[in-house]
Each structure stands twice: as structure tokens, then as C-alpha cells.
Structure 1
């Protein structure tokens, strides 16, 4: 019997990617550059950060002394690796921009997911 996940990749139902679903690069297309010696060098296309308006606000939280964004992501969304979602929703490129004690961090749902009030 064929692996069902592999079958979905082959059928194009699930996009094959080198990045896990919780990566900011999941779904970003790969292209290839042909080097002068003929080698094919893979690279990722540009990832455009979504507008903060595409994120539904769930609340706000003050950043505490010595707190890191991965710790906050683990606490608020249950996934430390997904700290980049907080960066996207708060217009930050680097996690350190949001790790300032006393900074009010906007907590959101993932991009495009409406709140219960917005969905009704």
C-alpha cells in the first residue's frame, strides 16, 4: 500500500515543501538559478509579509523583563517555533524588536482567520 501522504503530494493535493507547516517559509515557492558552470542552485522567492489588518486581534499582552518572543509564542499560541507569527502581526522583522520590557504585544489569530464575531 502506498503512503497516503506521499500519494497526496504526488497528486498535487498537498504541496511538497522542505519547510514544515509552522515555518514562515512553508508554501513559499522555490526557483532555480543556473550558475555559469551549469549547476542548478535553488532559492526561495520573496516572502511578502501580510498586512497587519489581515490578522484578527485576540488581545494584548505586556512583555516582561528578560522575556523572549519564542517563550511568549509557546504560551500564547502553543508553538515556540511560530514566534514569527507575532512578528508579522506586529510589523516587526526581528523578534528582538518586540522583546522590549513593557512593550504591548498584539496577540492575533493566524492570517485570514476571523474571530467568532467577524465570522457571524
Structure 2
């Protein structure tokens, strides 16, 4: 259902049956990984830097920004690059390339 690089890859789906026979398929809740990530690098955010560029540089795919969010306990991706000088933990990439 989802690409191997998606944060939702491998998460179970479920179905909700509504009155009238209509069924809705949905993805179950995704929980953040427990424990500290395995860190491969630490990146210092530069002024005007974009998260997709950081992610492409370290993880090889700009759409894997969510892995940086998970590793840095960020609910909103823009939090990660909003402050110049912030240190970002770069985790071991998850999933296939």
C-alpha cells in the first residue's frame, strides 16, 4: 500500500463498517520508535537551510524527512530548521532505498 520509504510502510490497516454497508479502510495509528536512535551524524543547521536538502544529503532521499523528525522528537518538520545553529541528530536510515 505504501512505498518502503514511507513512514506508514508496514503499518496494519483496519476496516470500519458503517450503517448501510459502507466500509472505510484506514491505516492504524503509527507509534514513534522507542529508545534512542542509532546516530550516524550530527548536523548544525545553517541560516535558510531546508529540511529536504538535509535529508537528501544524509539519508539519500528528501522525502525521508520524517526520520529526522522521529530522531529529534519534532512534531512539525519546520521546527528542525527554524533555528540557525540547532544540532540535528541524523539516524541510521530506515527502510529500503
Q: What TM-score comes out, normalization by structure 1 length? A: 0.72
Displacement after TM superposition at 1:37 (Å) = 1.8
Residue aligning to 1:32: 15
- Runs of 4+ in structure 1 off by over 4 angstroms are none
* Larger strand percent: 2
Displacement after TM superposition at 1:52 (Å) = 4.6
CA distance in 2, matches of 1:56, 1:35: 43
State whether residues 52 and 90 of structure 1, in contact with CA within 8 Å, keep that contact through their aligned partners in structure 2. Answer: no
Structure of higher RCO (CA pairs closer than 8 Å, 6+ residues apart) = 2
Structure 1 stretches lacking a partner, 5+ long: 1-17, 112-120
- Which of the two has higher C-alpha Rg? 1
Residue aligning to 1:42: 25
Residue aligning to 1:91: 73
Structure 2 stretches lacking a partner, 5+ long: none
CA distance in 1, matches of 2:35, 2:47: 25
